[in-house]
Amino acid sequence: VMWRQEDLFFSGLGGGAPTGEPVTRPEEVAERVAAGGDGITFFPTPPLMHGTSTLTAFICFHFGQRLVIHRKFAPEEVLRTIERERVTSVSLVGDAMLRPLVDALNGPCAGTDLSSLFSVSSSGAIMSDTVRAQFTALAPNVMLLNNFGSSESGFNGTATDDSGPERGFRIQVNSRTQVVDLVTHEPVAVGEPGRIAQRGHVPLGYYNDPEKTAETFFRRGDERWVLLGDMATVDAEGIVTVLGRGSQCINTGGEKVYPEEVEQALKSHPDIYDALVAGVPDERWGTRVAAVVQLRPDAPPLDLPALKAHCRTRLAGYKIPRSAVFTDHIQRSPSGKADYRWARKVAAEA
């Protein structure tokens, strides 16, 4: 993704003030730093190849604050670093990083001093309700934030307090973000599905890929826009409910199922450590919902009927996995993002 520095400064770095009004002059960045004092320590825990960490680092620099980095995500060392360096803000990528922290706090790192920690934010993957509740029980004074953004848009918004499996992944988006029609690129009506788009400070396109650039970037009037990969709806209050990545959507018997919703339901089971959901070929339905599940090390065996019974309490019938593969390890990218190509291959081969 090719960004101009100015566009990335305002879209990905909050214009030098993620918690307030963006600056209007370059000199104002230095003036705010001088007036703001210190005492904030940022700790981005994913690899720096991930936008979550890179943008966190640059936001920290523009605040004139202290940055902690490490070579590799190791849960126990992360917690020891938070205690030793008096970290105030941690960024990570979803359950793949939050759940190991919970396990460490329940085990070898029980009693770790997290009194300096103010917030834990996730981008690129959702911290599920189940794991959030487990972490909150151990660190009740820490604010947990599910942020929404992308390499093509920077920051778009933060999940609402009532966001969850029952109501969906609901986002309070910024003024530059809309849900638009797939064909006309005009704003959709309340309740109608469309794609999330952002206007104004957006990238120039994809490097050496004019075809993909033409599919993703467009102009409406005098403004540049970028289409994100996520499908969503918007309500009368402007709250956006993210349905999931359009490219991962499973069409089973004409019904659309977004893997993220099913994964949240699966991970609410106390014996499930991690899960991915993908669509595999099915003679009757065309495609069926399949789950790849990693159980906790000390968990008793879990079969498909028990899995279905659990999901039935949270999902409509057509969203419930029709098949499941139990594996010792869920494969994810180094940054913690889901590897759906791997999950689809494992589910199909089984």
Fold of the 250-349 domain: GMP Synthetase; Chain A, domain 3 (3.30.300)
Q: What is the pLDDT along the chain (350 residues), one digit of tens a residue?
A: 999 999 999 998 888 876 678 899 999 989 988 887 668 899 999 988 888 899 999 998 888 889 999 999 999 999 999 999 999 999 999 888 999 999 999 999 999 999 999 999 998 888 988 899 999 999 999 999 999 988 899 889 999 988 876 677 899 999 999 999 989 999 999 999 999 999 999 999 999 999 999 999 999 989 999 999 889 999 999 999 998 877 788 988 888 888 988 998 999 899 999 999 999 998 888 899 999 999 998 899 999 999 999 999 989 999 999 999 999 999 988 777 889 999 999 999 98
Q: Where are the CATH 3.40.50.980 domain residues in the chain?
A: 38-151
Residue 331 carries which side chain, given as an amino acid letter?
Q
Architecture of the domain defined by 161-245: Roll (2.30)
Q: Where are the CATH 3.30.300.30 domain residues in the chain?
A: 250-349
- CA–CA distance, 336 with 330 (Å, rounded to integer): 10
Beta strand pairing status for 194-199 and 217-220? unpaired
- CA–CA distance, 123 with 94 (Å, rounded to integer): 7
State the residue for tokens 């018997």. Answer: 253
Query: Residue 325 forms beta bridges with which residues?
Result: 292
Count of beta carbons in the 10 Å neighbourhood of residue 133: 12
DSSP conformation letters of 105-116:
HTTTTTT---TT
Fold of the 38-151 domain: Rossmann fold (3.40.50)
- CA–CA distance, 314 with 148 (Å, rounded to integer): 24
Q: Where are the CATH 2.30.38.10 domain residues in the chain?
A: 161-245
